[in-house]
Amino acid sequence: MGYVPPWFYRWVLAAVVTLVIWLAWASTRTPEALWAPGHLSRYHAGVQSCMHCHEPFQGPTAARCVACHDVAGFRREAGSVADFHVGAVERQRRCVTCHTEHRGDTAPITIRPLHNPHGELVFLATGARSCADCHAFPDGLGGRPTLLDNALVGDLIEEGEGAHRRGGFARCADCHAGGRVESDD
Amino acid sequence: MDKVTRRGAWVVAVMVTAILAALWLEYALSPWPGQHLGHTQAGHIIGWIGFGLILLTFAYPAQKRLRPNQIWSRPRLYMHEILGILGPLLILVHSGAHFHAVVPVMALVALGLVVISGIVGAVLHSLAFRTLYDRRHELAQGGLDDRAIDARLHELAAQEGILRWWPWVHVPLTAVFVVLTVMHVGGALYFGGM
């Protein structure tokens, strides 16, 4: 280190300070380019500001989400997904447990691809309005769901007369070919 | 192929293998396609550990600066070099080959340049030592006593100018890397939450 004159370190400091000032200035002009881990999805392409969804040092909070995606909006929609979200908002669940962003404009906004192994048949047959009517999602939709022990599940098990059992519900189409409620047996 | 070229080729081969292994590990540890390891809690922890190891590398230059009269320690330099390779490899596992935001990309590029300059410096340092060792051997065979050999080698070491440029490259790159990394961590906590 002895070969380096003191002025060299002053120049290094000046260069670093200049870099920081440039990044601070650029952050006000194009914050997504500097900080975002990826482009927003097509669903949120119109969002103009990072702070629209992010709270400082708290990340994307449910409070910011429901400012646009409120209960009234979900209630206006029909179907199990809307009901699930009404329940999630009313129970103040964290949206980021299941949802993510900044993965590109054509990427899904759920953390992992969602697949309902039962198809729509299960809603038709049981009267369930939402996945959460029969399942608990302890780690959000990214985790493995567990079957609830409630009247709806109990009725479904009873209805199967032995064919419906825990761990065997996913193969609905084996007996209910074509999505018929009445089985072939 | 002479010894220096062979050694250089070996270093490059190990570097490329380590980089590919780190990128593969990131791919293997990512929960599913589209969900990168760096955006998971495990990825954050790997990033923090890598950053921690890199911070420990500063113990060597700090000691040289704070205690300039202390005898130079080869084990401490080795520790500096090992931590300076393990830490960046963990950062590479943390980042993977995903590049979008300018600040972390710049931090990663700066880190890569710091590591490359460090490896080049280590090789030059090693060659300088070997030159001194060979010269000492020659002088001893020529019949000089230890005191005379030390005097001759002192002149040789003083003339060894190849390492003089060293801090001019390694120090500014390190400063830029540290500032960009602090900004990246600050930005991640600000936008992503504590």
Please give the full DSSP string across A57-109, using - where no structure is assigned.
TTEE-HHHHHTTS-HHHHHHS-SHHHHHHHHHHHTT--GGGTB---S-TTS-S
Q: How far apart are CA B6 and CA B3, in angstroms?
A: 5
Nearest chain A Cα to B168, which residue? A4
Provide the shortest C-alpha distance from residue B145 to chain A (in Å): 30
The residues, ordered by sequence, that sit 6+ positions from B157 with a Cβ below 8 Å of its Cβ are: B132
pLDDT string in tens for chain B (194-residue length): 677 788 788 889 999 999 999 999 999 999 877 778 988 899 999 999 999 999 999 999 888 888 877 777 788 889 999 999 999 999 999 999 999 999 999 999 999 999 999 988 888 878 777 888 888 888 888 888 888 888 777 766 765 666 677 778 888 999 999 999 999 999 999 999 88
Which pLDDT does position A138 carry in this prediction? 67
Encoding tokens for residue A10? 């002053």
pTM: 0.77
The answer to whether the beta carbons of residues B19 and B26 sit under 8 Å apart is: no
Whether ipTM exceeds 0.90: no
Comparing CB atoms, the residue among B34, B102, B171 nearest residue A33 is: B102
Q: How far apart are CA B92 and CA B38, in angstroms?
A: 10
Give yes or no for B101 touching A (CB within 8 A). yes
Q: How far is CA B149 from CA B72, B126, B158, in A?
A: 20, 20, 14
The residues, ordered by sequence, that sit 6+ positions from A94 with a Cβ below 8 Å of its Cβ are: A62, A140
Encoding tokens for residue A17? 């300070």
Encoding tokens for residue A183? 């089985």
Q: How far is CA A82 from CA A71, A95, B36, B156, in A?
A: 9, 14, 28, 79
Comparing CB atoms, the residue among A8, A20, A59 nearest residue B192 is: A59
Contact list in A for residue B171 (CB cut-off 8 A) is 4, 8-9, 12
Residue A136 in 3-state DSSP? strand
- C-beta atoms of A57 and B190 within 8 A: yes
The end-to-end CA distance of chain A, in Å, is 85
Which pLDDT does position B141 carry in this prediction? 86
Which pLDDT does position A3 carry in this prediction? 63
